[in-house]
Amino acid sequence: MSESPSARELPDGETMYRALVEKDPDFDGLFVTGVTTTGIFCRPTCTARKPRRDHVVFFATSRDALLAGYRPCRVCRPVESPAATPEPVRRLLAEVEADTSLRLKDQDLRERGLDPAALRRWFRRHHGMTFQGYQRALRLGAAFGRMKQGETATAAAFDHGWESLSGFADAFRKLLGAAPSRVVGSLVTVTRLETPLGPMLAGASDAGVCLLEFVDRRMIETQVRRLARRLGAALVPGVSPHLDGLAEEVRRYFAGDLRRFTVPLDLRGTPFQEQVWAALLTIPYGATRSYAEQARLIRAPSATRAVARANGDNRVAIVVPCHRVVGADGTLTGYGGGLWRKRFLLDLERRALASPAPGPARR
C-alpha cells in the first residue's frame, strides 16, 4: 500500500484502518481514505461498506485526495468544510428566517437545546457577528424590503420586532450608514452554501444572483466591498427566491445533473468587465478556451491580460464559468478559488459529458 506525501504527519496505517473500520469520530478531520478500487475517498466515519486493507490509501487532507485523482464520497461528503452548519443551528436559522420578527433571548435558545455561548462563538467564527446581531440584520433586511414596497419606516420597524422607532433608526444607520428616510440604495441578501468543494458565500439583489465565492478565497473581502460599492447596497443575511434557486442548481451541478444554470444574474461591472463576463457565459459545459481566444471573441485581441484581470474579478464563480479559461497551451492557470478546485470542476464536467445527458443541453 502507498501513502500520501503527508503520511509522515499521520498515525500509522494500521491505526487509521482500525479507525476506519470502527468509524471512530475522534479521527474525523485527521485523515481521509482513498479506495483504489472505486476511485472514491471518504471520512473515517463514513457509513458506506468498508474496503479491504490492501484497497485503501490514506491522505492528510481532502485536497491531497482530489489532486491524486480521487472523487469525494456522496455518502459522507468529505470535502465539505468541518464548519458546515450543525443540524440544531440549521433548525434555528430556518425558524428565525421564517419569522424575522422573532427576538430570541438566551433562555429561548436553552429551551431549544442550544448553548448561547457556543452559538455566539459559532456565529462569530462563521458569520462575523453574534447570533443576536444576525437576528438584527435579518430584521433590518426584511424591514427595508417592506419600505422599498412603500411601507413607512414606522410600520416596518414595529412589524419586525422593534419596540421604538429610534432603536430601529440607530440599527439601520449602523448597517447602511444613513437614516431610514435617506437610504436610496438597496440590499444584497447573502447566505452560505455548502458544496463538495467547501462553503461558498452567495448573494442576490432584487435582479438576481450577484455573488458566489468560496469563503476561503483570499480576495473575498475585497470582492464584497467592490460589490457593495458597485450596487450601492448593504449586504445582510437572509433568504431570497434567487438564492433558493441558486442552491438547488448548484446542488444539481455538483451531482452532474445540470449543465446550464438558469438562475437570474446581476452582473454589474465596468463595460469591459461585463463584456468579458458575457463571453464567459458562452463557453460550453465541459469545454475550455484560452485567454487569447476570449480576447479575440470580444474583438480585443491585444487585451489578453485585461481579459485575465476581468476573469479574476468575476464575482459569480461556477455559474459564470471562469474556471473554463486556461492557458494557451492548455495548462490550468489563474483561478481565485485555487487550481485544485479548477481541476475538480473541469474533471466533473468532463465525466458528466461522458455519461448520458440528463436532459436538454445545458451550459
SS3 262: coil
Cα distances from 155 to residues 104, 134, 159, 160, 181, in angstroms, run 21, 21, 6, 9, 13
Cα distances from 169 to residues 99, 143, 155, 234, 240, in angstroms, run 21, 11, 12, 15, 24
Q: What gap in Å lies between CA 12 and CA 94, rounded to an integer?
A: 42
CA 46 centroid distance within chain? 23
46, 73, 76, 322: the active-site residue: 322
Cα distances from 81 to residues 45, 115, 126, 212, 324, in angstroms, run 15, 22, 11, 16, 24
DSSP string, 25-49: GGGBTTBEEEETTTTEEE-TT--SP
CB distance 208 to 320 below 8 Å? no
Q: Is 322 a catalytic residue?
A: yes
Q: What gap in Å lies between CA 201 and CA 191, rounded to an integer?
A: 6
Q: Where are the alpha helices (DSSP H) in 75-210?
A: 87-98, 106-111, 116-127, 131-148, 153-159, 165-176
Count of other CB atoms within 10 angstroms of residue 97: 16
Give the cell for residue 69.
Answer: 485523482
| Beta-strand relationship, 289-290 and 325-326 | parallel
42, 73, 76, 210: the active-site residue: 42
CB distance 363 to 260 below 8 Å? yes
Residues designated catalytic:
42, 322
